[in-house]
């Protein structure tokens, strides 16, 4: 039997999956690493931590009982998007990576809008958001000039790990799309953007397809992990592109809902000219010459993990959520907006913060827990709503991420989205997509679709309950008012934040 490894470099941890040719998981391993918030809006990680954790997790799956490491033919990657890694001309990291959920760059976003004008949307197909990479590059140039002057090239998180594994510098289109420097439809680094910000062509790594072969493992990496030095390494993709591949979102009409740390509603798109006016993100898919549109809730699973950490620190998710399905839709009039770290879609606003509205003396912790789940799902529904308004059909949604582990949450998604929600047998979304890119790259299948037929297995299906759909439709209209009604207050509260 031959195998591939999918590496999912997430925000909280790296997860590695060893998969055989029939799409069965032979082994998995996870290693976590710290996140640093030195200031309220900052979010950074040490690239070296990613490398150490990835090597350990790869070593663990490679040494799984009964597996001949030489039979592991290929490796590919899924990575947290947008994070800035700067390297000097010796390939050394210049400063810690600035991550996707770091919002220090509002001033740089306004500068990008001013300098690029209409070109921003027509070329990069996306608005300037704090989380994207170009604003981070401009921030480092403005605030840490000495460090910036040392930087010869930039990479995204998984590209750095792959560079350390192979010695080769590359970036794939799906991840490059999240930098605001790619001509998304043309699939080249945008000369207009680079010239407008005086960035050299050599500052950007060579672009490749997600299934593209970029090299083999360096001998020292093979020795450290127990893998063969001949193991082929394929570029991989952005975590949301890989999540889509791992959920079989490879043709028009399919929608993905992902509730991880962040939350995503993603819709496959064949038409590179499709125009959402910058209201949702528009990125290259990990499938060649395909695209996807996506709305992002910054604190989706993070809202529930914050709630658990604060109010149920010694319980598991299942313990904390026991009985949540007994609480009626609407949590007895308690409404939550998940703006714990600001928001992206549909309100790109780093200052907005979360609210509980309608708290009364009858509410118990379980009502708050359900309200948090409902608020996260309402936020995702803003994107569903926008896709429908743009003429897309959203009637079947594949749900992935940690949030898909709770059946009540899957039913809630069906009721709030008013669509059939399907869960997967394998909860590994992006890691599975990464393994599929390696399997396809190795030539095991003639297309990603053929690979999906073998690797992606639907588990349960949840149909919308008409009564709950009606309740949620009314409540969603109330939810949609909270942003505008709390915005000014939150702007005023920024002065009091630590």
Ligand X SMILES: O=C(CO)[C@@H](O)[C@H](O)COP(=O)(O)O
From residue 160 to residue 189, the character string flagging contacts with ligand X as x (rule: CB under 6 A) and all else as - is ------------------x-----------
Q: Tell me the C-alpha distance between 254 and 400, whole Å.
A: 13
**With binding defined as CB under 6 A, does residue 81 bind ligand X?**
yes
Name the binder of 304 from ligand ADP, ligand X, none, CB < 5-8 A by kind: ligand ADP
Q: Are 424 and 248 in contact (CB under 8 A)?
A: no
DSSP 6: E
Residue from 300, 176, 183, 169 nearest 238 by CA: 176
Q: In the complex, what is the shortest distance from the CB of residue 497 to ligand X, in angstroms, rounded to a whole number?
A: 22
Q: Is 361 helix (H, G, I), strand (E, B) or coil?
A: coil
Six-digit token string for 203: 């500052």
Name the binder of 465 from ligand ADP, ligand X, none, CB < 5-8 A by kind: none
Q: Are 76 and 435 in contact (CB under 8 A)?
A: yes
Q: Of 175, 239, 349, 415, which is the active-site residue?
A: 239
From residue 291 to residue 330, the character string flagging contacts with ligand ADP as x (rule: CB under 6 A) and all else as - is ----------xx-xx-----------xx--x---------
Six-digit token string for 223: 């020795």
From residue 279 to residue 308, the character string flagging contacts with ligand X as x (rule: CB under 6 A) and all else as - is -----------------x------------
**With binding defined as CB under 6 A, does residue 406 bind ligand ADP?**
yes
Q: Are 175 and 123 in contact (CB under 8 A)?
A: no
> Tokens 């190795």 identify what position?
442
Query: Which class for 52: exposed (0-12), middle (13-18), buried (19 or more C-beta within 10 A)?
Result: middle
Q: Tell me the C-alpha distance between 429 and 309, whole Å.
A: 25
Q: Are 54 and 30 in contact (CB under 8 A)?
A: no
**With binding defined as CB under 6 A, does residue 375 bind ligand ADP?**
no
From residue 342 to residue 381, the character string flagging contacts with ligand X as x (rule: CB under 6 A) and all else as - is ----------------------------------------
Which span (154-162, 197-205, 212-220, 405-413) binds ligand ADP, by CB under 6 A? Answer: 405-413
Any known ligand binding at 347?
A: no
Q: Are 169 and 205 in contact (CB under 8 A)?
A: yes
Q: In the complex, what is the shortest distance from the CB of residue 406 to ligand ADP, in angstroms, rounded to a whole number?
A: 4
Q: Tell me the C-alpha distance between 382 and 336, whole Å.
A: 14
Is 38 known to be catalytic? no
- Residue numbers at the binding site for ligand X (CB under 6 A): 10-11, 80-82, 100, 131, 178, 239-240, 260-262, 264, 296
Catalytically active residues, by annotation = 239
- Residue numbers at the binding site for ligand ADP (CB under 6 A): 10-12, 259-261, 301-302, 304-305, 317-318, 321, 401-403, 405-406, 409
């Amino acid at each position: 039997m031959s195998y591939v490894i999918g590496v999912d470099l997430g925000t909280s941890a790296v997860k590695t999956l060893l998969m055989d040719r029939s799409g069965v998981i032979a082994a998995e391993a996870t290693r976590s690493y710290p996140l640093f918030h030195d200031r309220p809006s900052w979010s950074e990680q040490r690239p070296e931590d990613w490398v150490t954790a990835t090597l350990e997790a790869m070593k663990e799956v490679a040494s799984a009982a009964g597996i001949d490491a030489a039979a592991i033919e290929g490796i590919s990657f899924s990575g947290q998007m947008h994070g800035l890694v700067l390297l000097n001309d010796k390939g050394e990291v210049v400063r810690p990576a600035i991550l996707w959920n770091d919002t220090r760059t509002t001033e740089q976003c306004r500068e990008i809008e001013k300098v690029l004008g209409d070109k921003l949307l027509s070329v990069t197909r996306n608005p300037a958001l704090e989380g994207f990479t170009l604003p981070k590059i401009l921030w480092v140039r403005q605030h840490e000039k000495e460090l910036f002057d040392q930087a010869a090239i930039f990479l995204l998180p998984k590209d750095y790990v792959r560079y350390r594994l192979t010695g080769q510098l590359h970036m794939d289109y799906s991840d490059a799309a999240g930098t605001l420097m790619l001509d998304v439809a043309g699939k080249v680094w945008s000369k207009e953007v680079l010239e407008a910000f005086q960035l050299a062509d050599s500052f950007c790594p060579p672009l490749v397809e997600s299934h593209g072969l970029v090299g083999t493992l360096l001998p020292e990496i093979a020795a450290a992990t127990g893998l063969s030095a001949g193991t082929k390494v394929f570029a991989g993709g952005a975590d949301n592109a890989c999540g889509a591949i791992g959920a079989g979102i490879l043709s028009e009409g399919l929608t993905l809902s992902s509730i991880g740390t962040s939350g995503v509603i993603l819709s496959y798109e064949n038409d590179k000219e499709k125009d959402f006016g910058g209201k949702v993100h528009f990125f290259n898919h990990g499938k060649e010459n395909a695209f996807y549109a996506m709305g992002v809730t910054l604190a989706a699973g993070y809202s529930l993990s914050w709630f658990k950490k604060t109010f149920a620190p010694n319980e598991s998710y299942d313990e904390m959520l026991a009985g949540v399905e007994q609480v009626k839709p609407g949590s007895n009039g308690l409404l939550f907006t998940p703006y714990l770290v600001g928001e992206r879609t549909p309100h790109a606003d780093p200052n907005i913060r979360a609210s509980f509205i309608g708290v009364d003396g009858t509410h118990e912790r379980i009502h708050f827990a359900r309200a948090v789940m409902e608020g996260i799902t309402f936020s995702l529904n803003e994107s569903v709503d926008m896709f429908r308004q743009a003429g897309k059909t959203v009637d079947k949604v594949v749900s992935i991420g940690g949030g898909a582990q709770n059946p009540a949450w899957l039913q809630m998604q069906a009721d709030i989205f008013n669509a059939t929600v399907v869960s997967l047998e394998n909860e590994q979304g992006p890691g599975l997509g990464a393994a599929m890119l390696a399997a396809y790259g190795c030539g095991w299948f003639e297309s990603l679709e053929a690979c999906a037929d073998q690797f992606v297995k639907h588990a349960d299906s949840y149909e919308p309950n008409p009564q709950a759909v009606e309740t949620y439709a009314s409540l969603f209209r109330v939810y949609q008012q909270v942003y505008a009604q709390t915005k000014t207050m939150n702007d005023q509260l920024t002065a009091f934040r630590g």
